[in-house]
Amino acid sequence: MTELPKNFLWGGAVAAHQVEGAYNVGGKGLSVADVMTAAGSHDERRITDGVQEGEFYPNHEAVDFYHQFPEDVKLFAEMGFKSFRTSIAWSRIFPQGDETEPNEEGLAFYDRLFDECLKYNIEPVVTLSHFEMPYHLVTEYGGFRSRKTITFFTRFAEAVFNRYKDKVKYWLTFNEINNQSNYNREFTLFTNSGIQVKPGENAEAVMYQAGHYEVVASARAVQIGHKINPDFQIGAMVAFSPVYPATDKPADVLKAQRAMQARFWFSDVQVEGEYPSWLTRYQKAKQFNLDITPEDLAELKKGTVDYLGFSYYMSFATAASDHEDKYYSYNESEDLVTNTYVPRSDWGWQVDPEGLRYGLNWMNDRYHVPVFIVENGIGAIDKLEADHQVHDQYRIKYLRDHIEQMKLAIVEDGVDVMGYTPWSAIDIVSASTGQLSKRYGFIYVDRNDDGSGSLARYRKDSFYWYQHVIETNGDDL
């Protein structure tokens, strides 16, 4: 097989709130992640009204990356990382979110972190907003319910673009901006947009309004960034769970097509600079009464992204019901069905490596821009042996199967893939469950779901396996 490009960005990914901890250190304000409790294996996290006495918030300490990052980055370098994806915790830079001047201590922290990466020739890949909006913006402005939040976000973007213009080249605006297409799930609207739906409200309309403000904010950030440094590569970021039709019944195919349109209108707008025609008509027909101005639409055209980043964990499937409306309206919390052809992870996620090749081709056909796999991985229970080894063969198998499909898409299909940063570089606090035991990392962190543990780091078997993958540029899996 032909080789992967020499400059392929192998690496690993995390997000600030899932690793850093130090939630009130260095002037940091509370973020939405700081008011979320931990869930069990199958239930959701709870969102509390501020930080409450007697509740446990796993992100407050996380895996203490804030203090231990020099050791951790050293381990990333040992694996051979060419890139490291993390986010900047917005509330370290603008603790309340609506200040006009950034917090110097927060800025200085990321200088230290990026310098540490650059010392080992590791390219930082930086997400601006990864489920960690300042909590004050939620309580004062309703998060992205408010148009004002566009300004707060772009002020933040401008501050960090200016500060790190010579250290960071690769940026992503909003992490998995399309999770909220599942508008009935409390978790997605809160983490994407800082919104909790009120009784009697139309959650779908709320989502489309917030999503609109975010794509406008993203487009403005892209323009600001390119002015500050024309070499910046600024990407959008979506969760790529493709939605397959459950059968070859034409109505199922139409349903799946609408599901894909509903999940990916965000990237349609961010890459192509305009709303897809179906959506403009749909929003009108449903009388959502959205605040979308002609100036916004002009802005969207000017702020298209340089590339598309995406996460890939699993695929979905859907079937039409007997009472579809003429829009095949997609409601993700009700419309998914089990795909019987693929296995499931311990957390019920449908594991489908071929879906990654499908996705890479789908994105290439639709968008014609380079793509970057900025998350891919499996949450699993790991066992730390007495000799501090972790034999995570299931993780190696998952990643190997996916890298194989990625190679086929690059080498056989000609898709332009910039890099691969699996989730996660090191064990993290799970976003959806708040658990530590839903482990993703190449590096084991001794911390338990209840917060106990020494926080010591240990290399898993997958650490050495991935090191060899990078060493051979993906030739030897």
Residues assigned a catalytic role: 375
| Binding of residue 240 to ligand P53 (CB under 6 A) | no
| Binding of residue 438 to ligand P53 (CB under 6 A) | yes
Closer residue to ligand P53 in complex, CB, 18/31: 18
* Least Cβ distance, residue 229 to ligand P53 (angstroms): 26
Radius of gyration of the chain from Cα atoms?
21
User: Chain-centre distance of CA 161, in angstroms?
Assistant: 20
**The one among 68, 83, 154, 175 contacting ligand P53 by CB under 6 A:** 175
Q: What would the x/- binding string for ligand P53 be over residues 8 to 27, using CB under 6 A?
A: -------x--x---------
* Least Cβ distance, residue 433 to ligand P53 (angstroms): 6
Separation CA 394–CA 417 (nearest Å): 25
Closer residue to ligand P53 in complex, CB, 103/424: 424
Paired tokens of 157: 């973007």
Separation CA 112–CA 85 (nearest Å): 15
Separation CA 279–CA 265 (nearest Å): 8
**The one among 116, 132, 176, 268 contacting ligand P53 by CB under 6 A:** 176
Interface stretch with ligand P53, choices 105-113, 172-180, 251-259, 441-449 (CB under 6 A) = 172-180
Closer residue to ligand P53 in complex, CB, 261/433: 433
Beta-carbon contacts of residue 220 (< 8 Å; ≥ 6 apart): 150, 154, 157, 299, 303
Paired tokens of 472: 């051979």
Separation CA 380–CA 390 (nearest Å): 12
Separation CA 426–CA 459 (nearest Å): 9
By beta-carbon distance, which residue lies closest to ligand P53?
432
Q: Residue 377: name the closest of 429, 311, 434, 443 by CA.
A: 311
* Least Cβ distance, residue 130 to ligand P53 (angstroms): 6
Closer residue to ligand P53 in complex, CB, 93/428: 428
**What's the one-letter identity of residue 102?**
P
Interface stretch with ligand P53, choices 267-275, 352-360, 430-438, 463-471 (CB under 6 A) = 430-438
Distances, alpha carbon 434 to alpha carbons 33, 34, 58, 82, 465, in Å = 9, 11, 6, 29, 27
The beta strands (E) that lie in 80-162 are given as 83-87, 123-129
Interface stretch with ligand P53, choices 63-71, 75-83, 171-179, 332-340 (CB under 6 A) = 171-179
Separation CA 86–CA 19 (nearest Å): 9
Separation CA 72–CA 66 (nearest Å): 10
Separation CA 165–CA 159 (nearest Å): 10
**The one among 420, 423, 442, 444 contacting ligand P53 by CB under 6 A:** 423
**The one among 68, 364, 432, 462 contacting ligand P53 by CB under 6 A:** 432
Closer residue to ligand P53 in complex, CB, 299/382: 382
Number of residues that bind ligand P53 (CB under 6 A): 16
Burial class (CB in 10 A: 0-12, 13-18, 19+), 321: exposed
Q: Which residues within the stretch 311-330 sit at the binding site for ligand P53 (CB under 6 A)?
A: 311, 313
Contact 16, 89 (CB under 8 A): yes
* Least Cβ distance, residue 322 to ligand P53 (angstroms): 29
| Binding of residue 379 to ligand P53 (CB under 6 A) | yes
| Binding of residue 239 to ligand P53 (CB under 6 A) | yes
Closer residue to ligand P53 in complex, CB, 346/412: 346
| Binding of residue 94 to ligand P53 (CB under 6 A) | no
Q: Which residues within the stretch 131-150 sit at the binding site for ligand P53 (CB under 6 A)?
A: none
Separation CA 107–CA 39 (nearest Å): 32
Closer residue to ligand P53 in complex, CB, 146/315: 315
* Least Cβ distance, residue 176 to ligand P53 (angstroms): 5
Site residues for ligand P53 per CB under 6 A: 15, 18, 175-176, 179, 239, 311, 313, 375, 379, 423, 430-433, 438
